[in-house]
Amino acid sequence: MTDPVSRPSLSWRGAARPAAPAYAALDLGTNNCRLLIAMPTAQGFRVVDSFSRVVRLGEGLAASGRLSQAAMDRTLNALHVCVDRIGRRRLRGLRAIATEACRRAENGRSFLRRVEHETGLAIEMISTREEAELALESCAPLLRTAPGSGQSRALLFDIGGGSTEIAWVRLDKRSRPELIGYRSLPLGVVTLAEQFGDDAFTEAGYTSMVRFVCDQLRSFEALHCIGREVAAGRVRLIGTSGTVTTLASIALELPRYRRSAVDGIALPSSSALQAAGALRRMGRSGMEAHSCIGPDRARLVLPGCAIFEAIHRRWPCDAVMVADRGLRDGMLLRMMRDRSAQLPMPPFPIPSLSVAAGMVPSA
């Protein structure tokens, strides 16, 4: 255990000289530890530093109900890196959150106390509702309604490691998107990967995953009658997760991932489903070798595709808007807005790219 006397100090607290106009947001999830440091701009913010590491905090959690010692040690190592990066800057604000793994684990709160003791970083365990709200906050600039589009609703999904957040949203071009209802499914790419194991790479196992997730969505559909709005063409489907950005990368045949190429594009659902099929044909070894996936994520991709396919099967929109933004973006925008009044929304339309339905890589 790190000597508490030598733990890093976070220089944004009580800084002796005026703080730089920068903010930091840290998201500790089931699979990843992510940090974003940014400065506000007229369009939102400009990233000045970022860090992401696969820590697998929720590894084995579904079976044991607890965070393992190895997972906590890996995560602490990553958090020490984050604290070091935070400590190099004088910030106006910092927020750090933990999500499903810490919510679900018996020792989740005690682990966060240990984190604060060893690093000085206070991490807040947020509710599933706030998780959905932060995802919506991050995607709000992409949800401005186009004049004459007829879209008055959005269905936003965020596929995480331990849970999947579904948000049903009211759109109005005169105001910010409004959350009508939300559902947090207690399943994500890590939990499905552990539940289905190697079967996830078989056609039968993949079909079972899709059916399993579909069943989890039935009650949300019964409550909000979303299918009726989808059939009338009034719903915009938007996804924010590694799953949808990976599907977009495969559909666009990118040699390596580029955020600027996928964030904000309208990806035809047919292209997304064909990309999922291409990934299934690659198999695990093919995904491990793919520059947009790699060995750390290969076992998680098909569970994510199954969740997306289940969402599309339940609510078959013609296209999915791809958002490479998440909880950190939502936290940053919230902190900046609360600190310096309303941040202006980008003017409509957001630059986007519609992908031809046939653009998928060959198997």
What pLDDT does 285 receive?
95
Range 4-126: architecture per CATH: 2-Layer Sandwich (3.30)
Distance, CA of 265 to CA of 278 (rounded, Å): 20
Q: What is the largest CA-CA distance in the chain?
A: 62
**Bigger pLDDT: 329 or 348?**
329
Q: What is the predicted pLDDT for the residue at 271?
A: 97
Q: State how far the Cα of 95 lies from the Cα of 284, in Å rounded to an integer.
A: 36
* 37 has a pLDDT exceeding 90: yes
Q: Is the dihedral of CA 113, 115, 120, 123 positive or negative?
A: negative
Q: Is residue 269's pLDDT more than 90?
A: yes
pLDDT at 198: 95
Q: How many residues does the chain have?
A: 363
The whole-number pLDDT of residue 279 equals 97
pLDDT at res. 16: 43
Distances (CA, A) of 163 to 4, 6, 289: 33, 36, 27
What is the distance of C-alpha 197 from the center of its chain?
23
Rounded to two decimals, what is the model's pTM?
A: 0.85
Overall average pLDDT of the 11-27 stretch: 65
Q: 13-42 in b/e burial notation, b at 16+ Cβ within 10 A?
A: eeeeeeeeebbbbbbbbbbbbbbbbbbbee
At 44 the pLDDT is: 85
In this prediction, residues 254-261 reach a mean pLDDT of 91
Prior bond of 147 cis (ω within 30°): no
Query: Which residues does residue 94 pair with via DSSP β-bridges, in sequence order?
Result: 24
pLDDT above 60 (res 3): no
pLDDT over 90 at 174, yes or no: no
pLDDT tens, 45-61? 999 999 999 999 999 99
pLDDT digits (tens, 9 = 90+) for 99-141: 999 999 999 999 999 999 999 999 999 999 999 999 999 999 8
Domain boundaries, the chain: 4-126, 129-340
Tell whether the model's pLDDT for residue 327 goes beyond 70. yes
Fold of 129-340: Nucleotidyltransferase; domain 5 (3.30.420)
Find the mean pLDDT for residues 205-233.
97
Q: What is the mean pLDDT of residues 252-279?
A: 95
The answer to whether 131 touches 184, Cβ cutoff 8 Å, is yes
pLDDT band of residue 341 (cuts 50, 70, 90) is very low
Among candidate residues 240, 326, 255, 325, the one with its CA nearest the CA of residue 293: 255
Phi, psi of 218 (to 5 degrees): -60, -45
DSSP class per residue in 252-289: TT-SS--HHHHTT-EEEHHHHHHHHHHHHHHHHHHHHH
pLDDT over 70 percentage in the chain: 87
Overall average pLDDT of the 178-184 stretch: 95
Tokens representing residue 96 in the block = 């750090």
Q: What is the DSSP letter of 173?
A: T
Q: Are 269 and 354 in contact (CB under 8 A)?
A: no
> Average pLDDT over the chain, rounded to whole?
87
Contact between residue 229 and residue 316 where contact means Cβ atoms under 8 Å apart: no
Chain segment 83-109, per-residue pLDDT in tens: 999 999 888 999 999 999 999 999 999
Could you tell me which residue, 122 or 353, shows the higher pLDDT? 122
Here the tokens at position 342 are 């309303």
Domains 4-126 and 129-340 share a fold: yes
Predicted local confidence at residue 145, as pLDDT: 60
Task: Please compute the mean of the pLDDT values over residues 187-216 and round it to a whole number.
Answer: 96
> For the residues 301-321, what does the mean pLDDT come to?
97
> What does the alpha-carbon distance between residue 320 and residue 63 come to, in Å, rounded to a whole number?
34
Give percent of the chain with pLDDT exceeding 90. 78
Q: Tell me, rounded to whole angstroms, the distance of Cα 56 from its chain centroid.
A: 15
Contacts of 44 (CB under 8 A, 6+ apart): 141, 333, 343, 346
pLDDT recorded at residue 322: 97
